[in-house]
Structure 1
Amino acid sequence: MRPGFTSPAQAPPAPDLTTQPLRFLAAYWAVWQHLSGHLQTALEQGHGLDVRSFIALSYVQAAPLTPAELASHLRVPRYEVTRVLRHLESRQAIDRHPAPHDARSHRLCATPAGRALWQAALHTVETVTTPALHALSPTPLDILTASLETLAATPLEARP
């Protein structure tokens, strides 16, 4: 037998996708694939945005923030935020203003065009996601959302 290959007798058992964490990961993946593909297409065709740009614009729309703060919210490296910001700036959706207490830093702000773009894109997001989200009544949806927020905030260090 070649190195690195195992015989069927030595092969690990087939994974049971009905046990945790595989069940969670498979469900998470399925939901992401189900929603993101349709959402990505609708946002790109209707507004020239991808999902990440829409979410970034949502944060900027909510309140002025620095690129570093946006990277932290999105949980992506600064260089990825730079790409998203370049795209949003090319669309004249955001602009930069010097931070009041730090001349080296800039605050990102939504422009009037950016606010209009965000509002139109939000309508598209709601149109695409509403059928799937209506499968859950408001209470389970709120519980699911809160649970995902908790997972996102939980450190992944190994526990004893």
Structure 2
Amino acid sequence: MAVSPPSPPSRPGPTPEQVSLFIGRMWHFNRKLKQDVNPLLAEKHDLDTRRFFVLRGIQQGAGYPKVLAERLELPPALLSRYLDGLARQGLIARALDPDDSRRTRLSLTPQGEAALAATVQTVHELVGTRLSRLAPDTMATVLGALAVLTDEGQTQENPA
């Protein structure tokens, strides 16, 4: 007879007040970040955060509109408008896929690569300033917690 390993001790769940506080603070943080980032990106790079993430997604390998829409969790019609604008700005190129002419392949233009690099630097400087308020151990805890909460990391009871 096999013996099962002991199950980890269960943790008490958050209180309703903690859940409300978490949601409120995350919402406020997101709003504050967008209020700081969007005007700066518009002024310096003629972009906003949504278009920044579209460019970033293309750079990171989402080379087809369907894949990009899924990765960014955007409706295809909305993504199409962003792609149209980025193409008019000369930041992306669209081309028929050589393996399947029914599909359009997306890529960054040299101008798009340069704009994205400059935008990344601006975002990192701004967000880095805000994050520098955290002690290094707190930063590690926040990043770990966000990974768990977004299903990008292992739960603490099940490290791998």
| Superposition TM-score, scaled by structure 2 size | 0.76
Please state if 1:106 is matched with 2:104. Answer: yes
- Identity fraction in percent: 28
Residues 23-102 of structure 1 correspond to what in structure 2 (within 5 A)? 23-102=21-100
Taking CA–CA contacts closer than 8 Å with sequence separation of 6 or more, which of the two structures ends up with the larger relative contact order?
A: 1
Question: What is the match of residue 157 of structure 2?
Answer: none
What is the number of residues matched between the two proteins?
138
Q: Which runs of 4+ in 1 moved over 6 A?
A: none
Counterpart contact for 2:91–2:109, Cα < 8 Å: yes
C-alpha displacement of 1:146: 4.6
C-alpha displacement of 1:30: 1.3
Counterpart contact for 2:62–2:68, Cα < 8 Å: no
Q: Give the whole-Å Cα distance in 2 for the aligned partners of 1:45 and 1:69.
A: 30
C-alpha displacement of 1:73: 1.1
RMSD across aligned positions (CA): 2.2
Q: Give the whole-Å Cα distance in 2 for the aligned partners of 1:142 and 1:102.
A: 44
| Superposition TM-score, scaled by structure 1 size | 0.76
Structure 2 unaligned blocks of 5 or more: 1-14, 153-160
Structure 1 unaligned blocks of 5 or more: 1-16, 155-160
Counterpart contact for 2:41–2:48, Cα < 8 Å: yes
